[in-house]
Amino acid sequence: MKHYEGMFILHNRDHRGEDEGEPDTPEVVVTKLIEKVGGSVAHTVLWANRKLAYPIAGNQTGTYVLVYFSGESGAVDALNREVKLSDRCLRWMAIALDELPKEEDIPEPLTEPVSRSGRRFEGDTTAELGKDGEETRKIWELLDYKNPFVLRRMISAQGKLFSRVRSNLEAKSQRRLRTAVFRARNMALLPFVGR
C-alpha cells in the first residue's frame, strides 16, 4: 500500500435533485471518491473555503479538502478518472508520502494571518512568524504549498520567484520553494502572474 496526501477543490454550488435529500458534505464527497477506487482514508480536514486565485470552470470560490489516504499503486489513476466524472470536484492533486502523518502533525485549517510583524522574510531566514511566544522557525521549514502566505512573500509583484541572493536560501531550499509555488499555483492558492 502506498500513502498519499491529497488536496481537492470542490465547488460551492448546490446540485440537489428533486428526489434527493441534503447534499453530502465536502469531506463525505472526497471520502466516497477515494473508497470507490479501493483506497482507505486515514485523515480528512476541511482545510479552507476561500476565493480562488483565478477562476476554475467559472467558479470564483471553492472548498479545499485535505485528505491523507492509502491505496494501491493504480489508485491514483483510477481516482483521477473518478474526479473527472465527478460533478462536485473542480481540481485535485495527490503527493506520494513515505508514511501517513500522526494526528498531531496534521495541518490546521487555513486561516488568514491576523497581525503582521515589521520584519520581512527577504534575507532573514530566521524571522519569527505569528504571535509572541511562538517558537522561531526557519523559512525553509515553512516552504509548503499549503502555506500561501509565506510563499506570497517569496515571489515578486510580477509573479516571479526571488533569486537565491534575495531569498537567502540554499540551492535545495530554493528548489523546494519552486516546487511549493508550482503546486500552490496549480491548486489556485497563488496566481500565475502578479495582479
Q: Helices (DSSP H) in the chain: which residue ranges?
A: 26-36, 75-85, 148-152, 164-167, 171-186
**C-beta pairs of 119-124 under 8 Å, 24+ apart in sequence:** 120/153, 121/150, 121/153, 121/154, 121/167, 122/153, 122/162, 122/166, 122/167, 122/168, 123/166, 123/167, 123/168, 124/168
Grid cell at residue 144: 509548503
Indicate the domain borders of the chain.
2-99, 111-195
Place of cell 491505496: 71
pLDDT computed for residue 124 by the predictor = 46
Each residue's pLDDT tens digit in the chain (195 positions)?
899 999 999 988 765 544 455 678 899 999 999 999 999 999 999 998 999 999 998 899 999 999 999 999 888 999 999 999 988 999 999 999 999 988 888 888 887 765 455 444 444 444 444 444 444 456 656 788 998 888 888 888 888 888 888 888 888 888 999 999 999 999 999 998 865
**CATH 4.10.640.10 is right for the domain spanning 111-195:** yes
pLDDT computed for residue 46 by the predictor = 92
Place of cell 534575507: 123
Overall pTM > 0.85: no
Q: Which is the CATH superfamily of the domain at 2-99?
A: Ribosomal protein S6/Translation elongation factor EF1B (3.30.70.60)
Grid cell at residue 99: 508514511
